[in-house]
Structure 1
Amino acid sequence: MSHDLVLENGEIVFPGQTIRRGSVAVKGGKIAAILDRGEVCNAARVIDCTDRWILPGVIDPHTHIGFGDKENDWATETATAALGGVTGLMSFWRHDDLGASTGPWIAAGEARAETDFGLHFGVTSRRHVAELGELSKRFGVTSIKVYLMYKGATGAAKGFTEVDDALLFSALQAGAKVKGGVVGVHCENTEVIPVFRDPLKAAGRDDLAAWDEQSPGFLETENVFRVAFFGEKAGCDVNIVHMSAVESLDLVRRLRHKDRPRINVETCIHYLSLTRDCPLGPIGKVNPPLRPQSDVDGLWEGVRAGDIQTIGSDHVPRKVSTKGPDIWSATAGFPGIAQVLPVLIEEGYHKRQIPIERLAATISCNVADLYSLPGKGRIAPGYDADFAIVDPAGQTSVAADAYPSFSDYSPYAGRTYRGAITHTILRGTVVVDDGWLSPEPAAPGRYMHRAP
């Protein structure tokens, strides 16, 4: 049998399981066979993967496409993602009228994206909750996000006036009725923040550590308890997105119970590699804030133990001109989608000896399982032929101008990571070839419609 593509003689990383030397055959955009070492088959193209990892393509569970240059973000940010071994991403879609706006936004992605993509609905009003069941079926969206940081005055300043505990609980009730539904929550008690923020501003503080001090980790943890407790009472699985504080993870460990709804945990690469003491200034402003090194180390132990299920980038493609002039007025968030694999390989595999198959699970099969993504996240016959090929002996040096992103800066700029992504393959099409975006037209990204 002739195949379209063979990834030959590599170290195949089966996420969450093991590594095995062999080859992967691809036909019609799907994985056709896993071949033992030395097995040979015909193919239109063969990529020699000797001494390289063959990983499932990264699925970034946490991105914000459309927050930079909305007209072009699908193209620029997914091309940037592909250079980092990303073949799929989940992006938050927030709009007053989800019913009217979601279809055109999906169509824009299908016309421009160079990776596959799915959506989470941002729930900010009672209307969204009331419509969730119908919208979930129509658009194949099984996941939503509630923004507890937009309660009260903080939300009103952004035009959100209905975010409160009642909205949270009703969203959990609605999510429990969606097949495969999961409610993600941004946990941060903004009502207490002024108690810390006002004295810091009065003292003239304008450093990155002040952003952590105005919203300390326990304000996240307090919200985590509320979300988990409400989730139990509503019978709904929850996902604590972008967890930043190890105290929050300790609480989740205590609250988990086999007979209760699941409490899933996601963290992001910046909480695993950057701290409040980095010399980034306003560039490092993000919500929740960057924390001390002790939180970084504690979250890594959560990854090692499997207590953290997924890892994302929280990629926001804005310009550096929005990151100032001081920590208080700078926008929150920064780009990072191309650094997911480099950070995990450097900080997790090399520095902490966490097995690559454990790390791979957090950005592939665990994401696919949590969000009901069909045919994604595993290396097995019948699955989509999505791969990231990595040379562990190579290196990745980060420079903002090395990517087509709308963003013109990176909090990771100047860093060099061990490991280099040499190829990214989307449903059998090589979109990154020897480290460069393929000059051939990429296979168009597809919308990942979910119907568990």
Structure 2
Amino acid sequence: MLDLVLAGGELVLPDTGVVRGSVGIKDGRIAAIAEAGETLTAAETIDCRDKWVMPGLIDPHTHIGFGAKELDFETEARSAAIGGVTSLLTFHRSPDLRQSTPEWIAEGETRSCIDFGLHFGLTSKLHIDTLVETAQRFGVTSFKVYLMYKGAAGAAKGFTEIDDGLLYRTLLQARQVPGGVVGVHCENVEVIPVFRGPLKEAGRDDLAAWDEQSPDFLEAENVSRVIYFGAKAECPVNIVHLSSAEGLEIVRRHRLFHRNPVTIETCAHYLCMTRDDPAGIVAKVNPPLRRKADCDALWEGVRDGAIVTVGSDHVPRKRATKGPDLWGASAGFPGLATLLPLLIEDGYYDRGIPLERIAAVTSLNVAKLYGLRGKGAIAVGNDADLVVVDPHTIRMVDHAELASHSDYTPVQGRMLRGWPVHTLSRGRHLLADGHLTEAALTAPAGRYLRRG
């Protein structure tokens, strides 16, 4: 007998379509998929009529540890479950990854209620010299280079070795890792002061000024450079959190003439928010929020497959860090719990983006890109990472209901459809009837996702 059946729902199959059916679960895995009219028998059955059953989301871009350090694994995993996110990948940085990674993984396995994996943030020659060793030891196949931390900007944060040479050496080393991919934050930080000085002198303190101090062509220029270096090094590259139409066009042109793989990730806020957002400086983020035309272009990239993954870039800091003004406010904000409802409201309802595309960029494509076997699709044998979504009920976003360490959200008060009512991680109930379960709160069982 099956342990659990999700019965009679609309099954969202990434990049395939939506079909009515039921999903049977046993021992934490998907054991059966039944067509409409077929009956599966189980110890427990959840009626999913008039609901969508989707693969659990895999958020490819989070910053666990930026709020309350290791305690973020508790709070942010719960917030993820509220939003239907059943696995996440988070960036890990330290002076020596060989020393810090075992303890960080152990903290996650002790505290997280969902599965998690790591990207390594590379900021020094030591990281490059030990890249293959650390990748093999810890099962990490994805690495990030921060071009916005070059020169004086990097030195202010303690990074003194980031330059184009470090980028290129990373590409050469990463191509030796099976499945290796290098993600790059693209902003030409050396030109930003040309714009920032006059804006500050003019007394600008509005969110749009953050876009004007790092305009879209500074992202696009860096995208072009990264793609070119990637082609010469013959290493796959991933443009993370792409924010601009111009940057997207650069990648489209590259794909016409070059074979070297280039993938694009964007984030929900670049699809659903602009530089004129009423949240004001609370919505300061790097790269900046752009104009509506950029949102339109990025949504078209989601629709036609040019954009491969969508994440949250979740940063669980407190509201108090967003001040005293634009120039002193921290960059980034929380977004794990609202990732799926935002994409459904602004994508599916407002723009007609098919549900199967939303499922592809938030689950299947993430699993493929990062080598997460058994994740990302409703398929027999896969982990029973599933989310049951209520497509009709309109709910107002309230940070107090999102369980994050962070005490705010930039989309506070927005009315959204598409909230999860059930979230399952390997068949375990984390969210039931819209509420976190006792297991999510007191019995975390998240596993570290070793890759490669």
Normalised by the length of structure 1, the TM-score is 0.98
Paired residues of 2:110 and 2:444 also in contact (CA < 8 A): no
Number of aligned pairs? 450
289-298 vs 435-444, which moves further: 435-444
Partner of 1:364, secondary structure, is helix
Task: Determine the structure 1 residue equivalent to 2:116.
Answer: 117
Task: Determine the structure 2 residue equivalent to 1:235.
Answer: 234
Paired residues of 2:111 and 2:444 also in contact (CA < 8 A): no
Equivalent residue letter for 1:444: A
2: distance between equivalents of 1:257 and 1:5? Answer: 47
CA shift digits 1:296-345 (9 cap, x unpaired): 11111111111000000000000010000000010000001001110110
2: distance between equivalents of 1:258 and 1:29? Answer: 44
Task: Determine the structure 1 residue equivalent to 2:309.
Answer: 310
CA shift digits 1:121-154 (9 cap, x unpaired): 0000011011010111110000000000000000
Task: Determine the structure 1 residue equivalent to 2:383.
Answer: 384
Paired residues of 1:88 and 1:117 also in contact (CA < 8 A): yes
Where do 1:99-118 residues align within 5 Å?
99-118=98-117
Where do 1:12-411 residues align within 5 Å?
12-257=11-256, 260-411=259-410
Paired residues of 2:64 and 2:73 also in contact (CA < 8 A): yes
Partner of 2:438, secondary structure, is coil
2: distance between equivalents of 1:235 and 1:102? Answer: 28
Quote how far apart the aligned CAs of 1:281 are: 2.3
Equivalent residue letter for 2:304: A
2: distance between equivalents of 1:443 and 1:423? Answer: 17
Quote how far apart the aligned CAs of 1:442 are: 4.5
Partner of 1:337, secondary structure, is coil
Task: Determine the structure 1 residue equivalent to 2:446.
Answer: 445
Paired residues of 1:30 and 1:385 also in contact (CA < 8 A): yes
- Listed as ranges, the gaps of 5+ residues in structure 1 are none
Change in CA separation of 1:48 and 1:258 when aligned onto 2, cut-off 3 Å: farther
Partner of 2:130, secondary structure, is helix
Quote how far apart the aligned CAs of 1:42 are: 1.8
Paired residues of 2:397 and 2:412 also in contact (CA < 8 A): yes
2: distance between equivalents of 1:260 and 1:172? Answer: 16
Normalised by the length of structure 2, the TM-score is 0.98
Quote how far apart the aligned CAs of 1:443 are: 5.2
Partner of 2:338, secondary structure, is helix
Equivalent residue letter for 2:334: P
The answer to whether 1:430 aligns with 2:429 is yes
1: distance between equivalents of 2:10 and 2:257? Answer: 35
85-94 vs 436-445, which moves further: 436-445
2: distance between equivalents of 1:226 and 1:122? Answer: 19
CA shift digits 1:25-78 (9 cap, x unpaired): 000100001111121222111000001110000000000000000131000000
Partner of 1:99, secondary structure, is helix
2: distance between equivalents of 1:93 and 1:293? Answer: 33
387-396 vs 353-362, which moves further: 387-396
Task: Determine the structure 1 residue equivalent to 2:10.
Answer: 11
Paired residues of 2:70 and 2:108 also in contact (CA < 8 A): no
2: distance between equivalents of 1:39 and 1:165? Answer: 58
Paired residues of 1:239 and 1:265 also in contact (CA < 8 A): yes
Quote how far apart the aligned CAs of 1:197 are: 0.3
CA shift digits 1:189-246 (9 cap, x unpaired): 0000000000000111111000000000000000000000000000000000000001
Change in CA separation of 1:27 and 1:100 when aligned onto 2, cut-off 3 Å: same
Quote how far apart the aligned CAs of 1:420 are: 2.2
Paired residues of 2:284 and 2:329 also in contact (CA < 8 A): yes
2: distance between equivalents of 1:70 and 1:213? Answer: 32
Structure 1 stretches of 4+ moved >3 Å: 440-443
Partner of 2:340, secondary structure, is helix
Paired residues of 1:426 and 1:443 also in contact (CA < 8 A): no
1: distance between equivalents of 2:418 and 2:148? Answer: 36
Partner of 1:341, secondary structure, is helix
CA shift digits 1:231-285 (9 cap, x unpaired): 0000000000000001000110000158622110000000011110112222011
2: distance between equivalents of 1:116 and 1:251? Answer: 34
2: distance between equivalents of 1:234 and 1:43? Answer: 52
2: distance between equivalents of 1:231 and 1:389? Answer: 39
Quote how far apart the aligned CAs of 1:396 are: 3.0
Equivalent residue letter for 2:191: V
Partner of 1:100, secondary structure, is helix
2: distance between equivalents of 1:274 and 1:355? Answer: 20
2: distance between equivalents of 1:334 and 1:434? Answer: 27
Identity %: 60
2: distance between equivalents of 1:307 and 1:41? Answer: 38
Quote how far apart the aligned CAs of 1:83 are: 0.3
2: distance between equivalents of 1:384 and 1:168? Answer: 35
2: distance between equivalents of 1:122 and 1:281? Answer: 29
2: distance between equivalents of 1:72 and 1:354? Answer: 36
Query: RMSD across aligned C-alpha pairs, in angstroms?
Result: 0.9
CA shift digits 1:377-434 (9 cap, x unpaired): 0111000000011011122321111122110010010001122210000001111001
2: distance between equivalents of 1:69 and 1:420? Answer: 26
1: distance between equivalents of 2:337 and 2:156? Answer: 32
Task: Determine the structure 2 residue equivalent to 1:420.
Answer: 419
Equivalent residue letter for 1:205: R
